[in-house]
């Protein structure tokens, strides 16, 4: 397994760039809650950050993610979090809402980057800086991986808090993603104000069709002539 390295950041610093930032998002595929992005600028010496265990957030245990997020936030001068709300996701679509969250994260940095390394296939619209995008960047590029950790922990904490206000969906455990527990909560309680309407409709459609089929089959069975 390969781990994120700072080779690209190092290359840009050698070319004369002064502030190299990475940005990543979390929550794009969830059924509930906001999409969150984080942006970070890793300063020199980059070797230090290469040796503190930074990985793609999805490859870390929850406890390790929290510890690394706390450490990064205490070490870094330039980090920021941005989000797009459920209302914005419903109004804009998830792609545009994700890019908006990334834009907000970058604009929230204490110092604006000279170059931005973006996880994914697209660059972030309406930012006045050089950008390069990288599919799977959180697995290969250190600043993007660091951003993924901060974003993940921030959103996980937010979803745990929402679980207190919106009980019955298991948000503290599933973080808004489409688990069986979350599905059952939606079928029982319906879609709440923190759910993404289009996502939930698509997600629940197969289960609703199955429920209708089972109900019809049960009715046919109960109405059949026992002497036939």
Q: Which residues contact 36 (CB under 8 A, 6 or more apart)?
A: 25, 26, 27, 81, 82, 83, 101, 151, 154, 155, 158
Average confidence score pLDDT of the chain: 92
Residue 208: per-residue pLDDT: 76
Rounded Cα distance, 150 and 143, in Å: 11
Neighbours of 192 (CB within 10 A): 17
Would you say residue 224 has pLDDT above 90?
no
Angular region, 129: left φ>0, alpha ψ -120 to 50, beta rest: beta
Residue 219: per-residue pLDDT: 39
Would you say residue 147 has pLDDT above 90?
yes
In the chain the domains, ranked by start, together with CATH numbers, are: 7-174 (3.30.420.10)
25 annotated binding-site participant: yes
Q: What is the pTM of this model?
A: 0.90
Neighbours of 14 (CB within 10 A): 8
Percent of the chain residues topping a pLDDT of 90: 89
Q: Which residues contact 78 (CB under 8 A, 6 or more apart)?
A: 19, 21, 40, 41, 43, 109, 110, 111
Would you say residue 105 has pLDDT above 50?
yes
* C-alpha distances out from residue 109 to 23, 67, 114, 146, 227, Å: 11, 22, 12, 14, 77
Backbone angles phi, psi at 140, to 5 degrees: -125, -30
119 annotated binding-site participant: yes
Would you say residue 226 has pLDDT above 60?
no
- Give the sign of the dihedral formed by CA 53, CA 135, CA 156, CA 188: negative
Would you say residue 124 has pLDDT above 50?
yes
Residue 185: per-residue pLDDT: 97
Instruction: State the average pLDDT over residues 145-151.
Output: 99
Neighbours of 148 (CB within 10 A): 32
Rounded Cα distance, 163 and 23, in Å: 27
Rounded Cα distance, 25 and 133, in Å: 13
Residue 228: per-residue pLDDT: 42
Residue 209: per-residue pLDDT: 60
Residue 2: per-residue pLDDT: 75
In tens, the pLDDT along 204-220 reads 999 876 554 343 434 34
161 annotated binding-site participant: no
More confident residue, 193 or 210: 193
């Amino acid at each position: 397994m390969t781990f994120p390295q700072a080779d690209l950041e190092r290359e840009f610093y050698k070319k004369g760039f002064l502030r190299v930032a990475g940005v990543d998002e979390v929550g794009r595929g969830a059924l509930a809650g906001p999409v969150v992005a984080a942006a970070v600028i890793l300063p020199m010496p980059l070797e230090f950050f290469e040796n503190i265990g930074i990985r793609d957030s999805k490859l870390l245990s929850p406890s390790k993610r929290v510890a690394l997020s706390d450490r990064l936030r205490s070490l870094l001068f330039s980090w920021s979090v941005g989000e797009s709300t459920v209302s914005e996701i419903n109004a804009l679509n998830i792609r545009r809402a994700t890019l908006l969250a990334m834009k907000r994260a970058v604009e929230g940095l204490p110092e604006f980057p000279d170059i931005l390394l973006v996880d994914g296939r697209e660059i972030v619209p309406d930012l006045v800086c050089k950008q390069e995008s990288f599919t799977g960047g959180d697995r290969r590029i250190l600043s993007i991986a660091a951003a993924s950790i901060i974003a993940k922990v921030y959103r996980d904490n937010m979803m745990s808090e929402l679980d207190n206000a919106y009980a019955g969906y298991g948000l503290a455990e599933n973080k808004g993603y489409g688990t069986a527990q979350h599905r059952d909560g939606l079928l029982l309680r319906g879609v709440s104000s923190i759910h993404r309407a289009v996502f939930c409709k698509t997600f629940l459609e197969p289960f609703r069709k199955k429920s209708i089929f089972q109900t019809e089959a049960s009715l046919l069975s109960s109405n059949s002539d026992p002497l036939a």
